[in-house]
Structure 1
Amino acid sequence: MEFQLLGPFEARHEGRPVPVGLRRQERRLLAILLLEAGHAVAIDRLVDLVWDGDPPASARGTLHTYVNRLRAALTPYGVDVETRGDAYAVDAGGHTVDAARFTELARRAATATDPAVRVELGTEALGLWRGPLLAGLAGDGLRRRVGTGLEDLRLTTAELCAQVQLDMGYHDRVIAVLMELAEAYPTREGLVASVMTALYRAARQADALRLYELAYKALAGELGVEPGVELETVHQRILSGDPRLERPAAPVYAVRVREVWLPWSVGGHPALDFCNTYAGWGGERMPGAEWLRGYPALAVWAGYQDLVDDASVNRLLDEARLDPLGASAVLDEARALRADLYSCLTDPDDTAAFAAVARCVEAAARMSVYERGPDGLGRWRLSREAGLRAPLYAAARSAGDLLADPRRWSVCACPSPRCGWLFIDHSGQRRWCSLATCGPRS
Structure 2
Amino acid sequence: MEFQLLGPFAALHQGRPVLTGLRRQERCLLAVLALEAGRAVPTGRLIDLLWNGEAPPGARSTVHTYIGRLRAALGPDGVHVETRNDGYLLRPDGHVIDARAFEDGVREAAAAVGDEERVLRYDRALALWRGELLADVADPALRDRIGQRLAALRLSAAEERARLLLTLGRHEQVAAELPALAEEHPERERLVADSMLALHRSGRSADALRLYRSVSGTLRSAFDAEPGRDLRTLYDRVRRDDPALRRPEAPTYAVRVRGEWLPWNTGGDPALEFCNTYAGWGGERLPGSEWLRGYRTLAVWAGHLDLLDDRTVTRLLRRAEERPEEASAVLEGAREFRSALYGWDDELATLENLLTLLRRGDGGALV
TM range (shorter): 0.5 to 0.7
The 3 A distance-change label for structure 1 pair 137 and 103 is same
Partner of 1:407: none
Aligned mates of 1:200, 1:52 — CA distance in 2:
45
**Counterpart code for 2:186:** P
Task: Give how far 1:51 is off.
Answer: 1.3
- Structure 2: gaps of 5 or more residues: 262-367
* Matched position secondary structure for 2:178: helix
Partner of 1:247: 247
The 3 A distance-change label for structure 1 pair 195 and 242 is same
Q: Does 1:133 align with 2:136?
A: no
Q: Does 1:142 align with 2:139?
A: no
Kindly indicate whether the alpha-carbon contact (under 8 Å) linking 1:190 and 1:230 is maintained by their aligned counterparts in 2: no
- Structure 1: gaps of 5 or more residues: 254-278, 289-442
Per-residue CA deviations over 1:145-191 (Å, capped at 9, x if unaligned) read 10110011011111111111101101122133323322221221101
**Counterpart code for 1:87:** G
Q: Does 1:76 align with 2:89?
A: no
Partner of 2:2: 2
Partner of 1:165: 165
Kindly indicate whether the alpha-carbon contact (under 8 Å) linking 2:106 and 2:122 is maintained by their aligned counterparts in 1: yes
Task: Give how far 1:54 is off.
Answer: 1.4
Aligned mates of 1:16, 1:52 — CA distance in 2:
31
Identity %: 52
Task: Give how far 1:286 is off.
Answer: 5.8
Task: Give how far 1:86 is off.
Answer: 0.5
Partner of 2:89: 89
**Counterpart code for 1:48:** D
Alignment of 1:392-403 (within 5 A): none
Task: Give how far 1:285 is off.
Answer: 5.5
Aligned mates of 1:250, 1:209 — CA distance in 2:
24
Alignment of 1:220-239 (within 5 A): 220-239=220-239
Per-residue CA deviations over 1:178-209 (Å, capped at 9, x if unaligned) read 23322221221101110111111111222222
TM-score normalized by structure 2? 0.67
Per-residue CA deviations over 1:71-123 (Å, capped at 9, x if unaligned) read 11111221111111111011112311111111111122223342222211112
Partner of 1:344: none
Q: Does 1:153 align with 2:153?
A: yes
**Counterpart code for 1:193:** A
Kindly indicate whether the alpha-carbon contact (under 8 Å) linking 1:189 and 1:215 is maintained by their aligned counterparts in 2: no
Aligned mates of 2:227, 2:190 — CA distance in 1:
11
Alignment of 1:341-352 (within 5 A): none
TM-score normalized by structure 1? 0.56
Aligned mates of 2:24, 2:258 — CA distance in 1:
50
The 3 A distance-change label for structure 1 pair 18 and 206 is farther
* Matched position secondary structure for 2:11: strand
The 3 A distance-change label for structure 1 pair 43 and 187 is same
Aligned mates of 2:46, 2:20 — CA distance in 1:
18
Partner of 1:331: none
Partner of 1:401: none
The 3 A distance-change label for structure 1 pair 285 and 54 is closer
Q: After TM superposition, which residue ranges in structure 1, 4 or more long, deviate above 3 angstroms?
A: 249-253, 284-288
* Matched position secondary structure for 2:89: strand
Kindly indicate whether the alpha-carbon contact (under 8 Å) linking 2:115 and 2:259 is maintained by their aligned counterparts in 1: no
* Matched position secondary structure for 1:248: coil
Count of residues in correspondence between the two structures: 262
Aligned mates of 1:160, 1:15 — CA distance in 2:
33
